[in-house]
Chains A and B, each alone.
Chain A
Amino acid sequence: MKRILLLVVALLAGAQSMAPAQAKPVQCRVPGYQAERIFPLPQVTKAIDKKRLVILVVGNGSSVLPGPTGASVSFPARLQVALSKMLPEVEVKVDTDVVARRVASDAVKSLPKALAEIKPALVVWQTGTVDAMQTIEPDQFSRALDAGINISRSAGADVVFVNAQYSPRTESMIALGVYAENMRWVAMQQEVPLFDRFGLMRLWSDMGTFDLYSATKKLDMAERVHDCIGLLLADLVIEAARTPKDR
């Protein structure tokens, strides 16, 4: 139901704004799209004040594109580019700990080492898909999320969640539902901003921004999707960093 409303809002808004700029690059930002609840990111706010922002992206296969150029065009790299543009006076560095097919509880195990080495102000944690594919006990998944947040926070880093991709072809084969719900619930409880990649990509698909059904070996569409994810993730990080701590 939310989807229909969003689509209507987006199409109405798009009809007004799109006409003159038809040939321009993809419109990533969807008018009317509401992010999940934004919670403050105090460490990021501090880091921006100190002109140096280090981010660690912890993720799975959907955080990196395949091929030799894959890493440079996937969303962590695009996040660094977007944030550098939005915060010209801040030195932004995005590191990654991306391992395909790693469940959340295993990602947590390698977290302390990565945190100690990189000392990020922010951990962007993309997760959910692999746990759903391996039908990990949902409780165990939630506990891993909680543990990851606690470990990151005690190492002086804020956390942003990125949920699963919207993948229409495999939708009838991977039951994301309960994992997405648990992520949302843990995010609310722990006051972690959630970047709703799933909802966003579905909206892009509905609006025809990207044809996520297309079967191709070429990287071009995947690159543009990751570019947009990096850009909107940067929007979210900045909005959250500007959110006052005690609302």
Chain B
Amino acid sequence: MAASPVPASTERDLRLDLFRGIALWLIFLGHIPSNTVSWITIRNYGFSDATEIFVFISGYSAAFVYGRAMQNAGFVIAAARVLKRAWQIYVAHVFLFAIYLAEIAYVSRNFDNPLYTEEMGVVDFMKNPDVTILQALMLKFKPVNMDVLPLYIVLLLWFAPILWLLLRSPTLGLLVSAAIYAVMWTFNINLPGYPSGGWVFNPFAWQLLFVLGAWCALGGAQRLGRWLNSPVLIGFAILYLAFAFSIAMTWYFPRLAVYVPAFVGEAIYPIDKANLDVLRILHFLSLAVITVYFVPRGWPALKRPMFWPAIVCGQHSLEIFCLGVFLSFAGHFVFTELSNTILSHFIVSFSGIAIMVGAAAMISWYKRAEKQIPRPPSRQPGFAGGDVK
């Protein structure tokens, strides 16, 4: 057996937390419908969006955490921990679904307008909650913008075996993942959705990015080190980002579309988000290559206070992600019930981010504080009397 690839370093790479934190903010901003502030999100300037960042970094940190567990405690323990995490995410998803139900129920009782007879049909599923709620618990029915956590759950469910493989042969693990991606594209495989169609984030496609993240964490990034810094690669990445940017501009200014040669249009459209189009992967990788080039590991500035808010959010990604989904519901509620001016968009967006940072800071503080609490009495000899082993 080849020398097992140990997670590259034991120290936490703050860049991961930073960019995951930023991705969480962008996901929050993008999930508030009609939010003016969401023009800053990267999806407006190219093919990929914050989901790619989130999935890749989640794969990276999952390999980092559970890879070490698997080496120290064995496959079974590590697999159990991964499944426990998947369960936590499932519970979080169901919690968010309950909030969504509350929102739907409110709208169906309080909104009536003859202009929107058709659209209000969307609340009809409340008429047969037996079916809908069961479908939701089976992760088939997923309300708008609630597709990321189900994806994450499925990715974790099969993560233990792929991690086992990645620890033994990183290349083989990555090849298996790429093969699944290729088979998915060839045979058009997806998990079923409800009432029809498939998953908005096809797990057979998105696993590639998750596994790629894991592969990088398990030494892949070091192996690529020489290539990553080559000016040729950086040049290609910049060219590709410029290309994606100019295509993206034609979405907002349709008259510019005349300048896109027909064969280019034929070749790139439609850019499939559900099945993680290759164009999106390339766009994400270009962003990653440039980021890694300009923000080296252990970059001292990462410890500066200005980066702290994003880093602290990235360090508690599940909690902050869920909070973000909740806040985006709440933000939409503010727009529909209270005020829908550009000023209120800014206020809602920035206070939402502030709440996310505040919550993350509190979680950090609580975790630190909990560690400092004296251990339970049974571990302290003589404290509870007699029961010391």
> B114 touches which one: A67, A100, A101, A202 (CB < 8 A)?
A67
Please determine whether B117 and A136 come into contact, CB atoms closer than 8 angstroms.
no
- List chain A positions with a Cβ less than 8 A from chain B: 1-4, 34, 36-37, 60-62, 65-67, 70, 100-101, 129-130, 133-138, 140, 142, 165, 167-175, 178, 181-182, 185, 188-189, 202, 205, 212-219, 221-222, 225
Can you list 20 A-B pairs, Cβ within 8 angstroms, ordered by A?
A1-B44, A3-B36, A37-B254, A65-B114, A100-B118, A137-B198, A167-B119, A168-B34, A169-B107, A170-B116, A171-B33, A171-B332, A172-B103, A173-B122, A175-B144, A181-B270, A205-B340, A216-B112, A216-B113, A222-B115
CB nearest to B248 among chain A residues: A1
Q: Which of B112, B115, B193, B254 contacts A221 (CB 8 A)?
A: B115
Who on chain B is nearest to A5 by CB?
B252
* Cβ of A77 to closest chain B Cβ, rounded Å: 15
11 more A-B residue pairs beyond the given contacts A129-B118, A137-B196, A215-B112, with a C-beta to C-beta distance below 8 A: A4-B36, A34-B255, A37-B257, A101-B118, A129-B119, A134-B195, A169-B107, A169-B119, A174-B144, A218-B114, A219-B114
A216 to B200, CA, bound (A): 34
Quick one: given A129-B118, A165-B119, A170-B120, are A215 and B110 in contact (CB under 8 Å)? yes
The reply on B111 being an interface residue by CB < 8 A is yes
- Chain B residue numbers with a CB within 8 Å of A100 are 117-118, 121
- Whether A37 and B255, one on each chain, are in contact in the complex, defined by CB atoms closer than 8 angstroms, is yes
**B-chain residues with CB within 8 Å of residue A2 when the two chains form the complex:** 252-253
A183 to B115, CA, bound (A): 22
Contact between A4 and B340, CB atoms less than 8 A apart: no
Bound complex: CA A182 to CA B271 (Å): 10
Asked if A173 and B118 make an inter-chain contact with CB atoms under 8 angstroms apart, the answer reads: no
Chain B interface, number of residues (Cβ within 8 angstroms): 50
Q: How far is the CA of A58 from the CA of B120 in the complex (A)?
A: 20
Distance (whole angstroms) from the CB of B84 to the closest CB of chain A: 31
CB nearest to B328 among chain A residues: A172
Within 8 A of A (CB), among B218-268: 252-255, 257-258, 265
CB within 8 Å of A: which B87-139 residues: 103-104, 107, 110-123
Contact, CB under 8 Å: A137 / B255: no
Partner of B34, one of A135, A178, A202, A218: A202
- Chain A residues near B112 (CB, 8 Å)? 215-217
Contact partner of A135 (CB less than 8 A), chosen from B107, B115, B197, B255, is B197
What are the residues of chain B within 8 A of A214 when measuring CB–CB?
113
A221 to B342, CA, bound (A): 23
Question: Which residues of chain A come closer than 8 Å to B34, judged between CB atoms?
Answer: 168, 171, 202
Contact of B113 among A61, A130, A215 (CB under 8 A): A215
Which residues of chain A are within 8 angstroms of B104 by Cβ–Cβ distance? 173
Cα separation A29 to B274 with both chains bound (whole Å):
36
> Which of A136, A138, A142 contacts B274 (CB under 8 A)?
A138
Question: Is B159 located at the chain interface by the 8 A CB criterion?
Answer: no
> Does B273 reach chain A (CB closer than 8 Å)?
yes
Q: In the complex the two chains form, what is the Cα distance from A175 to B199 in whole Å? A: 13
In contact, A130 and B115 (Cβ under 8 angstroms)? no
| CB of B369 to closest CB in A, whole Å | 36
Among A1, A4, A134, A205, find the residue whose CB has the most chain B CB atoms closer than 10 A.
Answer: A1
Are A178 and B111 in contact, CB atoms less than 8 angstroms apart?
no
How far is A2 from B33 in the complex, measured between Cα atoms in Å?
A: 15
Q: A188-B265, A215-B111 are in contact. Are A165 and B254 (CB under 8 A)?
A: no
